[in-house]
Structure 1
Amino acid sequence: MKDHLTIVKHPMIQHKLTLMREKTTSTAVFGQLLREISQLLTYEATRDLPLTTRSIETPLLQMDAPCLAGRKLALVSILRAGNGMLEGMRDIIPSARVGFVGLYRDEETLMPVQYYQKLPDHLEDRCVIAVDPMLATGNSSAAAIDLIKKAGAKDIRFLCLLAAPEGVETMKKAHPDVPIITASLDDRLNDVGYILPGLGDAGDRMFGTK
């Protein structure tokens, strides 16, 4: 992927995102919409995966048919909100290996604090898609990519639901080689680091916590 930032403006994605933004949307509906949008965004994130062919038998004849080349993809969820996107992505790529990076944002410094890491092996030979619904300050996302790179990954994409200009800039400075795929580039961050207009805290809305 060549572009550092790709905004996927498909009408179905934009419609579902509007429903998610509404504050009256229930926890159950919010989670289902996130899963559906994640499925659609996955198509864009995997658009340029390399293909090879293998010989198969259809009911009528033999053919050389296209299939994905190389090792199975790796999906890395940035906890906890990344798990909401992970489910939809696994609907599309059920054979993908799955990893987790646990980070939380210090509410005073807005800097990430790591508390967990479990990643698939052979990341250097896999396409890795890191997922987190919100790219706000970009500090946590950049830190997660740092950890993924230290584990050997070279081909990394970052998939999010919403991005703020500040987060995109942070990621571009820290990881210019990692393309960002998102459904929307929102206006800005507020004084406590939340995306505006945004949709609130994705994790809280997904899991019904405050």
Structure 2
Amino acid sequence: MQGVTVVDHPLVQHKLTIMRKKETSTAGFRRLLREISLLLGYEVTRNLELTTTTIETPIEEMEAPTLEGKKLVFASVLRAGNGLLEGLLDLVPAARVAHIGLYRDHETLEAIEYFFKAPSDLADRLVIVVDPMLATANSAIAAIDKLKGRGATNIRFLCLLAAPEGIERFTKAHPDVPIFTASIDRQLNDKGYIMPGLGDAGDRMYGTK
């Protein structure tokens, strides 16, 4: 699919299989989500712009590559996005963080906002939005609408699983935002859950129902 990168690294796929299993514990699910976010993070940051800086090694002076300009904002769609956020911050500790609180109305499946907090200079940074599941895409679309309204122009979306229906809606709403995912699953069920999926990522991560 155009605008969608599926990260098919063997370690990503292996860890995802374990996460899908219904018998995987809360602790195991949380650990695997953190591990897989590191691997996905390599892909979503692969083409960051570099410049050079002069440094001193123990041997000599050299021109060395470094990230150019202001760096990253990781925007977590609460609450499940925090599972991906932790691993990404291990990868890029200096990144700024935005939190976007959205919950899904189980009757209408629409996203309802209850919290938003982000750095003030979004226009100057690459914003990577993280949410494990791209199902109906309502939450992802609402989150990116909000970020664009606050000035963000360079945005990427990172998820663990995506449904074809969600990808279609997302790309119509935000054709300029590339999607990075570990898997495109078969479809949504009548409750808006990804099939075969892995269940509710937030519930499995926090041990709630």
**TM-score normalised by length of structure 1:** 0.98
Amino acid at match of 1:188: Q
Q: Deviations over 1:78-108 (max 9, x none)?
A: 0000000000000000000001000000000
Amino acid at match of 1:162: L
> 2: CA distance between counterparts of 1:130 and 1:170?
16
> 2: CA distance between counterparts of 1:99 and 1:176?
22
Aligned to 1:20: 19
Alignment RMSD (CA, Å): 0.5
Kindly indicate whether residue 61 of structure 2 is the aligned counterpart of residue 59 of structure 1.
Answer: no
Q: 1:72 Cα deviation (Å)? A: 2.2
Amino acid at match of 2:50: L
Q: Deviations over 1:181-203 (max 9, x none)?
A: 00000000000000000000000
> 1: CA distance between counterparts of 2:153 and 2:35?
28
> 1: CA distance between counterparts of 2:148 and 2:39?
26
> 1: CA distance between counterparts of 2:19 and 2:171?
27
Aligned to 1:101: 100
Counterpart mapping for 1:1-210 below 5 A: 3-210=2-209
**TM-score normalised by length of structure 2:** 0.99
**Percent identity at matched positions?**
65
Amino acid at match of 1:58: T
Amino acid at match of 1:11: P
> 2: CA distance between counterparts of 1:184 and 1:74?
24
> 2: CA distance between counterparts of 1:120 and 1:75?
10
How many residues align structurally?
208
Gaps of 5+ in 2: none
Q: 1:133 Cα deviation (Å)? A: 0.2
Q: 1:19 Cα deviation (Å)? A: 0.2
Q: 1:64 Cα deviation (Å)? A: 0.6
Q: SS in structure 1 opposite 2:119?
A: coil
Q: 1:152 Cα deviation (Å)? A: 0.5
Q: 1:159 Cα deviation (Å)? A: 0.2
Gaps of 5+ in 1: none
Q: SS in structure 2 opposite 1:209?
A: coil
> 2: CA distance between counterparts of 1:135 and 1:110?
13
Q: SS in structure 2 opposite 1:181?
A: strand
Q: Deviations over 1:25-52 (max 9, x none)?
A: 0000000000000000000000111000
Amino acid at match of 1:99: A
